[in-house]
Each structure stands twice: as C-alpha cells, then as structure tokens.
Amino acid sequence: MQIDLRRDALQGWATLGAAALLATVLMYIAWDGGELAQQVADEKVKLPTTGTPLSDLVRRQSDANAKLAQTIQQLKDQVGFSIEKGFKVDERDEDTYRRQPGKYFADRRLAVLEALDIRAREKGIADYDKYIGFGTGIKKPPPGDPPDNAYAADLLKMLQLTEKVVRVCLETPTPLQRLIVQPHPIMTKPDLLTPPGRPPLLREYSLKLDIRGSLKDVLWILHRLSPGRDAAADEYPLVLKSFKLTSLNSTPIQSISQLDLVLTVAGMEFLSSEERDKAGSATPGAKRVTTTTSAATTPSTGARSF
C-alpha cells in the first residue's frame, strides 16, 4: 500500500492557514488603532511636572519642619517661659505639699489674702474683695475645708496669677475706688488653646476684674500688665484678653473723673511635646478651646508661663 503524502500536506497547510486566520482575528480585536496609547499620553500631559524627585521633596519638608521647631524653641527661650520663682515650693514645705497639696494651697491662699488685704487698707480702697475671687461669691469667704488634692496645682497657679494682677492694681499712682475679682471656680482647671486642626498648644488660666479708677490709673494698669524688654528678670507678662471701659460722665463737657473697667487677663504656658501628645487624645478636666480671631479680644504675644 502506498502512503498519500499529498493529502497529509494539504491537511497541514489547512491547519496552518486556520491558525494564521485566528491570530489575525485576535490581533484585530485587540488592536485599538493606538487609542489607548493616546489616552495615556493625554493624561501624562495633564500631570504637573516639577522636575524634582519625590524623595527630594520629602527631605526638604523634613528639613523645614526641623528648622521650624528650632525657631519656635528659640522664640520661647527669648521670651523666657519658666515657672515664676514665687510659686516654687520651698524645701521646708516639699513634704507638706507632697502629702497634702490641698492643705498647702489653703495655707498659701490665707497668707496671700492677708498680705493683699493689709495693702488695700493702707491704700484706702473702699470697695475691695479681700478674698480676691477665692470665696464662694463676691465678698464671701472660701470653704473651710481644703480643696481636693487633684486641683491643688491648678489652684496654686490661679492664686499666683490673681496675686500678680491684684498687686499691680494696688500700686496705681492714686488709689482705686473699686477692685473686685470675680469668683474663681472651686474646681479650677485650665483651658487648652487648640489651633484649628492641630493638637493643643497652650494652657490658659484666666480671671476677670471690676475696677473703678482715674484714666491715669487705668492706663497705668494696662501698661504694667505686659512689661517689655526692660522688665525685671522675675517679671512675667499676662495676656490682656479683653476689657470694657465705661465713663461715668453724664454730659459732653463734664470732665472724666472716674472710669469703670471690666478687665479679663490670663496667664499662659506652652505645653511640652509630651503634654501635647497626651492632650491631643484626651485631657480629663481641661476644656478645649479653638483659637479664633475676635474683634472683642485684645491678645498679647508676650505670654509667659507662671
């Protein structure tokens, strides 16, 4: 029997032709005439080209952040953010403060109240609250029992701030007619000042005073609250948050003899990096206040911790 090679060759060529036809059909289906490549090119044109590698941008940002942190620290050092000497616990009182901080505050408060009351009587101020805001109300004594130990540190700072402001007001060129400190909360806690979208930056203790005095005395108080570069080393400025001035003259030609002044001041201190991290999540007892600009507020940039 003779093998038919022609028939096998024809079958081979037919198979090869079918495969070529199938490949051609597939290539035609897959080919989009360059449309996809054109779309990619068009999108690349829309992308901004800086010519700077991403790694260089990241490095520059890191360097800028480090430089900014260094600048902030230098500014803080120049202003002198530190604890006021007068309220560092003496060595002989450290044991009492460690065991009974509430009692320590009550003793310090009594000493400050007595000293300021003596000075107010020497100046002849008729309308004066000898409890300087630490009573249960205006001209009402404070509670007999010491406060809770958890609030002692904050109350000591508020006592320091209040003593500072009252001493300034007691030493005006002429005696004031009225000096009243609005009552402080019994459970005093600071406000945490928080820039929008950022962790807390400052801790603030504020108080309000009602004052009546001459224009010269009012200007003297406002000037003394924020001493400049020529201030003594142990001085620390207080932030003037707001004030409302009211004249008592009833006719246009009447001379201005006395003015009523409602004054809000605050002492502030920067939070450390560790405190900012903790306060960013939660700080029990402290109220968060987002800082905003207000026409009724007169801020000062020279705040120091106290």
> Could you give the angle at the alpha carbon of 47 between the alpha carbons of 44 and 49, nearest 5°?
105
Digitized pLDDT (tens) for each residue of the chain, 306 residues in all: 454 556 666 666 677 677 777 777 666 655 655 676 677 777 776 666 666 777 788 888 888 888 877 777 666 665 544 444 455 676 777 777 788 888 888 988 999 999 999 999 999 998 999 999 999 899 999 988 888 888 888 888 899 889 989 999 999 999 999 999 999 887 778 888 887 877 787 788 889 999 999 889 999 998 888 766 566 655 667 888 888 988 876 666 656 678 899 999 988 777 777 777 777 665 444 555 654 433 333 333 333 333
Q: For helices 152-170 and 215-225, what crossing angle results, to 10°?
A: 140
**DSSP 8-state class, residue 90:** P
- Closest listed residue to residue 305, CA positions, set 84, 117, 139, 109: 84
What is the distance between the alpha carbons of residues 263 and 182, in angstroms, rounded to a whole number?
A: 10
Pairing of strands 191-194, 178-181: unpaired
Residue 220, helix vs strand vs coil: helix
To which residue do tokens 């779309």 refer? 39
Domain 84-290 annotated CATH 3.30.70.60: yes
The DSSP annotation for 164-199 comes to HHHHHHHTSSS--SEEEEPPPPSS--PEEEE-TTS-
Q: In whole angstroms, give the CA distance from residue 103 to residue 155.
A: 11
**Quick one: pLDDT at residue 128?**
96
First to last CA, the chain: 118
Residues in a beta bridge with 172: none
As given in the structure block, the two tokens for residue 141 are 């004594």
Alpha helices (H) along the chain: 5-30, 35-46, 54-79, 94-99, 101-123, 152-170, 215-225, 273-281
How is 142-167 classified by DSSP, letter by letter?
A: PPSSPPPGGGHHHHHHHHHHHHHHHH
3-state secondary structure of 241: strand
Q: Report the 10 Å Cβ neighbour count for 215.
A: 13
pLDDT at residue 49, as a whole number: 62
Task: Name the residue with tokens 């620290």.
Answer: 73
Distance CA 157, CA 143 (A): 19
